[in-house]
Structure 1
Amino acid sequence: MSTRRLSKEDKGKGVTNENRQAPRTGRIKMQAPDSANIIHKHSLTLIGRVTNKSIQKVGSLIPFFTELWKEHGRPIGSDLGNGLFQFQFASEADI
């Protein structure tokens, strides 16, 4: 059994001299997204992250802060996963 190495030309991997370009396609024009509604919807949102996921549990953190911040209106807390949490407040005074 021989251990002869094949050249790139033998393998068909040489550099081609053909000038190939990808076919041109028409560009699509889209409107710029209107994010004002999204910004207004989430303007009363607080997003945070626990600093030590092995000790601090988001599942116990949400009821604690919901009870602590219930003076004017009770915020809605959500576990976003991976140590992240979100609180949605009813008014700017609640934040």
Structure 2
Amino acid sequence: MTVQTQPFDSSDYLDSPEAIAAYLEAVLEEDDPALFTYALGQVARSRGMSQIAADAGLSREALYRALSSEGDPRLSTLTGVMRALGLRLSVEPAR
């Protein structure tokens, strides 16, 4: 008997500010900048890449490029996207 599977897309579950914040917080705990960039891209896609790009002051293409697997976005890009998503970064002492 063959098991049928479907691809998992985390953006299907990012339907509230709390879910988005929890997702990004969990990703940050992995201490992997590329993973965080990917996750931020998933969140942006779940909210509409064109609108997030416009709200962040970027072109849609530039946002896709910055959040791609080859991207290395500047801090200003990350904070702009976070702001467009209604989120903010915060700093706390390491445990």
- The TM-score with structure 2 as length reference comes to 0.26
In terms of fraction of residues, the more strand-rich structure is: 1
In terms of fraction of residues, the more helix-rich structure is: 2
Higher Rg of the two aligned structures = 1
